[in-house]
Amino acid sequence: MNIALLGTGLMGQPMARRLLAAGWPLTVWNRSPDKTRSLVEVGARAVDRAADAVAGADLVITMLADGRVVRAQLQDGGVLAAMKPGALFVDMSSIQPAEAREHAAWLAARGIGALDAPVSGGTLGAEAGTLAIMAGGSSADFERALPVFAALGRATHVGPTGTGQLAKLANQMIVGITIGAVAEALILAERGGADPARVRQALQGGFADSRILEVHGQRMVQRDFAKRAAMTVQLKDLRNALATAAGDGTELPITTLFAQLYAEAIDHGHAEADHAGLWLELAGRNGLR
């Protein structure tokens, strides 16, 4: 299959490299062309327009900022008109489930298959090819995409169109809330005179252990908040969860609180930090540097 990848930012860049390493013919597009140059050096074909990238492609992957950007490329960017009937559109961006269903309907009207297949694992997972891929759509389209997913990580078909995005929202709720729990626990330990690095070590292997404690807890201990997964993206996903919940009357009080905390962290100057940088907001409230 000829593959087109739209969006070669923090996540799209290492995903493109995994696809190229697996031998897939790949055409790439990014709004900022400088982010495609290094991919050309390892075998990708870069184009200036998203519509040119998808013309003739058998499978199109998008890794874009949000549903608004995906919609803009489908319509204003000419992607919907340029894709050939029988192709498969795989949106690996994190968007609202309602947006995924709307986009899939537009594509189906042109004889194009669609999967919403957001991912978890961050840039580390993208580089290692160990992403958790949560796919919504038909079983037939999922089977078509499986050989491509194999280069990127472990894919699970979770249900019909839109459910991949629901699974991603669930993931982001757990990640965002757990980051806050780990941050507060380590701050409490440090304020009380314990070594937070040793507290983190002591908790590993017990019921409090998690991937968040392992990876993000280490970043908090080392005060390393270089952006791997953006604070702004975490907030966007929590707000998408709240918007989805509001649509069907689901109450999410914990997510509501954490959306407010991430928003305040961004307002206080931490927009360019990794989402583990919620520690910075909570530490600032407690006089830690």
What is the per-residue pLDDT across 228-254, written as a single tens digit (0 to 9) for each?
A: 999 999 999 999 999 999 999 999 999
Tell me which residues are annotated as active site: 168
| Cβ count within 10 A of residue 93 | 25
**Rounded average pLDDT over 176-196:** 98
Distance, in Å, from the CA atom of 56 to the CA atom of 139, rounded to the nearest integer, reads 24
79 to each of 51, 83, 112, how far by Cα in Å? 5, 6, 12
What is the per-residue pLDDT across 26-36, written as a single tens digit (0 to 9) for each?
A: 999 999 999 99
Using left for φ > 0, alpha for ψ between -120 and 50, and beta otherwise, residue 26 falls in: beta
- Please give the model's pTM, rounded to 2 decimal places: 0.94
Q: At 64, list the tokens.
A: 């874009």
CATH class of the 3-159 domain in this structure: alpha beta
The answer to whether 238 touches 256, Cβ cutoff 8 Å, is no
Query: What share of the chain has pLDDT > 90, as a percent?
Result: 99
Domain spans of the chain?
Answer: 3-159, 166-285
For the domain covering 166-285, report its CATH number: 1.10.1040.10
Distance, in Å, from the CA atom of 152 to the CA atom of 149, rounded to the nearest integer, reads 5
